[in-house]
Every structure is written in C-alpha cells, then in structure tokens.
C-alpha cells in the first residue's frame, strides 16, 4: 500500500512559545538549516510520484518560510490536497500570496478567552486569529479552527463551539499529543466531547477518542503504522523514520527519495514498537495509521472523515449564499 500522507516540516522556527510544545525549547532544533526552494520542490515532486495524496505543511510556524508561496504553488500544480496550520500571527500580511493554494487552512485557537489563549501560546495572538479568519473568509476560504484539547481546556468546549459558529468556521477538536496532558480523560469526558458531534460546525475523530480510552499505542501489539502511512520530511530535507519522534531515525535524502525510503526499510518496521511508542497518541501518524488495518479504529476513522468533509462542505456552501 502506498503512503497516504506526508508530514512536511518546513521549519522548526516559531514565533509562539506554546506551553504544550517542546520544539521552541530545543536550541539544537532551532538551529536546523532549511533546504532551499529547489530542493524542497524536488522532494515534493518525488512524494507525489510515490502516490502521496495528502500533504500537511507544518512546523514550527510555516509562515516564517519566505518561499512559502512558491512551495504552495508547486504543491497545487502537482495536485496535492494541502493543509496548512498557522498561529495567525503573520497571516494578515501574507494572506494574499498564499491562500489560493491551500485546500484546508487551519488556525490554532486554544481558548475562547483571549488572555488564556495568549497565555498558552506565550504570545499575543488571539486577536490575530480573529483578524486572520475575517481575511481568509474575504478571500473565499472557510477556515478550520484547531482546538487543542487538554484536561483543562475541555471545559471551554461549549464556548469554543459558539465562537466558531459566530466566526463561520469549523471547529476541529484535537486532543493534545502529549499523553501527560490527557492522563485523566475519563469516560465521561470523552462522552462530553462526543456530545458536541451533533453540532454542524464541530468535528473530531472518534477513532482518536477510542484510542485515548485504550491508553494509546501498545508497543507489544502496535496499532501505529507510521512509516507505512506517512512520510516525514524535515526542514533540512531528511526523512525521519518511522516518525518525527524518533531522533535516531533521521536519514538525509540522498539520490532519490525512493532509494532513501528503501534504505530505511528496517527502521520502518519499528513503527509503534519502540520504547517511545508506549502510549503514543501522535495523531498526525495515528489517524493515517487507522487506514492500514481493518478494525474498529478503521471504521470510526472513516465515519469521522466523512463527517468532517460533510460539515466542511456544508459550511462552505452556506458561506457562499
């Protein structure tokens, strides 16, 4: 089976200092050189040739990349379905040069209260997100608000749903990847989240919620298929196998991407089996992994994907009236 998705880290630099993210704290990571446009373009084309359909341009803050418009334009030309997540700080000034090339534009919003959102993010950015949403809508987009759910923030889900409705956005409820912050998510909490599924502007992944209930990946009977489902590219044009978390699995793309992938086959087989895999809930890997085995996660994930696309479509349609 071909990989469904690519997680393409354009930069590790960020203009936020989020309390739940370790990236900005790692000095070495922040010094990572970034591949130039031609090298990035070659890797994107090779990903497409391998049959990857879904491209997630991520970071760090991807809008810090000067050459982002060229990267997005090339991704569009070779027919990727491209998603881009931003904190909104730079979006107002860059909106016109990038929006037309993005299929799903996602703004991070962690709280309906500006002071709380800014505290979590370590930067004054709540108002920028609201401004960004307005600009994106004026450019014909229906943005998604990515609400990172923690034990603490779950209490503000009703207000978040209302805010998203007022803004005419879809709210994507995304449990944080960090297991500690989810520890203590009880069955009632998960039922509380599921309750919001009736809303036409709220979406989440039922397979992810079931996976939280099951305490994440079990390294002895792994459900993760990271290397099979997702190709991870770093800002310095390396692969991370089986996923971004495995620092020992960094391999420079030399020659062709296909050859580099073949050379990493042994590491690929370690998906979900490493010590770091215990209890893992890295959704950018786990959600595509759910496609690679027919079980209850497969069907819950499929149902959730249909629900997400349906709600997104209806919102877009409603916005055009």
Q: Does 89 bind ligand SF4 (CB under 6 A)?
A: no
Give the nearer residue to ligand SF4 in terms of CB position, either 181 or 217: 217
Which residues from 182-201 bind ligand SF4, rule CB under 6 A? none
Query: Quick check: 85 and 10 in contact, CB under 8 A?
Result: no
Which helix (H) or strand (E) element contains residue 187? helix 187-195
d(CA 281, CA 164): 25
Give the nearer residue to ligand SF4 in terms of CB position, either 146 or 289: 289
- Going through the chain in order, the beta strands assigned E by DSSP cover 5-9, 54-58, 81-86, 104-108, 144-149, 170-175, 202-203, 230-233, 238-240, 250-252
Q: How far is the CB of 177 from ligand SF4 (least distance, A)?
A: 9
Q: How far is the CB of 221 from ligand SF4 (least distance, A)?
A: 12
d(CA 107, CA 76): 20
Q: What is the CA radius of gyration of the chain?
A: 19
d(CA 37, CA 79): 18
Question: Mask: binding to ligand SF4, 264-303, rule CB under 6 A, as x and -?
Answer: -------xx-x-xx--x-x--x------------------
Non-local CB neighbours of 90 within 8 Å, separated by 6+ positions: 15, 61, 63, 64
Q: How far is the CB of 42 from ligand SF4 (least distance, A)?
A: 26
Q: How far is the CB of 86 from ligand SF4 (least distance, A)?
A: 23
Q: How far is the CB of 216 from ligand SF4 (least distance, A)?
A: 8
Query: Quick check: 236 and 33 in contact, CB under 8 A?
Result: yes
Give the nearer residue to ligand SF4 in terms of CB position, either 201 or 246: 246
Q: How far is the CB of 242 from ligand SF4 (least distance, A)?
A: 4
Give the nearer residue to ligand SF4 in terms of CB position, either 52 or 63: 52
Q: Which of 165, 47, 151, 61 is nearest to 106 (CA)?
A: 61
Give the number of other CB atoms < 10 A from CB of residue 210.
15
Give the nearer residue to ligand SF4 in terms of CB position, either 265 or 317: 265
- The CA angle 194-177-68, to the nearest 5 degrees, is 105
Cα-to-chain-centroid distance, residue 237: 19
Q: How far is the CB of 240 from ligand SF4 (least distance, A)?
A: 9
Give the nearer residue to ligand SF4 in terms of CB position, either 68 or 241: 241
Which residues from 208-247 bind ligand SF4, rule CB under 6 A? 217, 224, 226, 242-243, 245
Give the nearer residue to ligand SF4 in terms of CB position, either 102 or 280: 280
Q: Which stretches of the chain bind ligand SF4, using CB under 6 A?
A: 217, 224, 226, 242-243, 245, 271-272, 274, 276-277, 280, 282, 285
């Amino acid at each position: 089976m071909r990989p469904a998705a690519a997680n393409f880290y354009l930069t590790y630099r960020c203009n936020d200092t989020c309390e739940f993210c370790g990236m900005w704290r790692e000095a070495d990571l922040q010094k990572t050189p970034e591949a130039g446009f031609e090298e990035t373009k070659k890797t994107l084309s090779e990903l497409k040739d391998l049959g990857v359909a879904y491209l997630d341009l991520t970071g760090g803050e991807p809008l810090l990349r000067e050459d982002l418009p060229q990267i997005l334009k090339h991704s569009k030309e070779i027919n990727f379905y491209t998603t881009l997540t931003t904190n909104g700080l730079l979006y107002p000034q860059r909106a016109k040069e990038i929006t037309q090339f993005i299929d799903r534009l996602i703004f991070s919003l962690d709280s309906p209260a500006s002071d709380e959102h800014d505290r979590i993010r370590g930067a004054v950015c709540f108002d920028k997100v609201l401004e960004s949403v307005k600009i994106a809508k004026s450019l014909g987009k229906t943005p998604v608000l990515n609400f990172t759910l923690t034990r603490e923030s779950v209490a503000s889900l009703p207000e978040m749903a209302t805010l998203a409705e007022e803004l005419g956005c879809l709210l994507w409820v995304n449990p944080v990847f960090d297991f500690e912050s989810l520890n203590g998510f009880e069955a009632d909490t998960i039922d509380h989240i599921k309750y919001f599924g009736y809303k036409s502007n709220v979406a989440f992944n039922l397979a992810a919620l079931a996976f939280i209930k099951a305490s994440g990946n079990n390294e002895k009977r792994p459900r993760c298929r990271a290397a099979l489902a997702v190709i991870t590219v770093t800002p310095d044009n390396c692969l991370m196998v089986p996923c971004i978390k495995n620092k020992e699995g960094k391999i420079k793309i030399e020659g062709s991407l296909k050859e580099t992938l073949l050379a990493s086959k042994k590491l690929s087989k370690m998906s979900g089996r490493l010590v770091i895999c215990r209890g893992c809930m890295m959704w950018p890997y786990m959600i595509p992994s759910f496609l690679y085995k027919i079980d209850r996660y497969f069907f819950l994930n499929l149902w959730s994907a249909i629900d997400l696309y349906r709600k997104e479509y209806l919102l877009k349609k409603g916005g055009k009236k």
